[in-house]
Amino acid sequence: GAGVSQSPSNKVTEKGKDVELRCDPISGHTALYWYRQSLGQGLEFLIYFQGNSAPDKSGLPSDRFSAERTGGSVSTLTIQRTQQEDSAVYLCASSLGGVDTQYFGPGTRLTVL
Amino acid sequence: AQKITQTQPGMFVQEKEAVTLDCTYDTSDPSYGLFWYKQPSSGEMIFLIYQGSYDQQNATEGRYSLNFQKARKSANLVISASQLGDSAMYFCAMREGLDTGNQFYFGTGTSLTVIP
């Protein structure tokens, strides 16, 4: 079956513009996670969804960041008024539930000029 | 305190030799899971191995094994018979609790280079 997919794979934008990043989880996976990875760094947790609800938004860096998930499937991470420090790879992962492993997508590389 | 600590920023190993990547964790939750991921230069995170806190035996997956020492709160990854394709970043991660969606904590990673 298909793995986690993310689009676009690369996004270059100008400072101040809004961007939307999309994640398609593995079919049937109820939990979905967003992470950010800056160059040469580890993973920074942003937000997770259980179904369509987001019990934990504590990792969102600022109110410019928001995310939603519809139909218990696709999720969109939106960054408004992008800043240069938002440049990073944004990774999405999904898991089946319980003690299950997270499976990652290939990421979206965001560059803010 | 850091939830996951990886103290080796970079490691080198000769091809066909074994290598151990260190990971220590910090939690007061009796139920947790420990994971190792590989991230090659392509950027994708690849799941390698999982160890549950109640598992009695060390996890093994092919050439990967997890040296789980619960009392010391360590979960070192052992790669046997290293191959050139093993060169990558390796991340240790922990999930606390057993509920779906509990946050994963990742270490800062270890860069492994396999030398021919």
Residue-level pLDDT at A40? 73
In whole angstroms, what is the distance from residue A32 CA to residue A55 CA?
11
In whole angstroms, what is the distance from residue B68 CA to residue B65 CA?
9
Least CB-CB distance to A42: which of B47, B52, B109?
B109
Spatial contact of B76 and B20, defined as CB atoms under 8 Å apart: yes
Q: Which of A89-98, B41-50, B60-69 has the lowest mean pLDDT?
A: A89-98
Give the closest-approach CA distance of B9 to chain A in angstroms: 11
First vs last C-alpha separation in chain B: 38
Ramachandran quadrant class, A9 (left: phi over 0; alpha: psi -120 to 50; beta: rest): alpha
Residue burial A56-80, b: 16+ Cβ < 10 Å; e: rest: beebbeeeebebebeebbebebebe
β A5-7/B19-21 pair status: unpaired
Answer yes or no: is pLDDT of B92 > 90: yes
Q: Is A78 on the interface with B (CB under 8 A)?
A: no
Give the closest-approach CA distance of A80 to chain B in angstroms: 24
Residue A36 pairs with which residues in a beta bridge?
Answer: A44, A90
Residue-level pLDDT at A94? 92
Cβ–Cβ below 8 Å for B44 and A31: no
Q: Is A23 helix (H, G, I), strand (E, B) or coil?
A: strand
Q: Is B54 on the interface with A (CB under 8 A)?
A: no
In whole angstroms, what is the distance from residue A63 CA to residue A79 CA?
9
Instruction: Name, of A1-5, A33-37, B99-103, the range with top average pLDDT.
Output: A33-37
Structure tokens at A97: 């539930």
Residue-level pLDDT at A57? 80
Binned at pLDDT 50, 70 and 90, residue B95 comes out as confident
DSSP conformation class of B102: P
C-alpha dihedral over A47, A50, A54, A60, to 10 degrees? 0
What A68-75 contacts at long range (C-beta under 8 Å, 24+ apart), as own/partner pairs, is A69/A32, A72/A30, A73/A24, A73/A25, A73/A27, A74/A22, A74/A23, A74/A24, A74/A25, A75/A22, A75/A23, A75/A25, A75/A32, A75/A34, A75/A49
pLDDT over 90 percentage in chain B: 80
Cβ–Cβ below 8 Å for A31 and B50: no
Residue-level pLDDT at A1? 53
In whole angstroms, what is the distance from residue B57 CA to residue B46 CA?
23
pLDDT tens digits along B12-52: 999 999 999 999 999 998 989 999 999 999 888 999 999 99
Q: Residues B35, A43, B23, CA angle at the centre, nearest 5°?
A: 40
Q: Residues B41, B4, A54, CA angle at the centre, nearest 5°?
A: 85
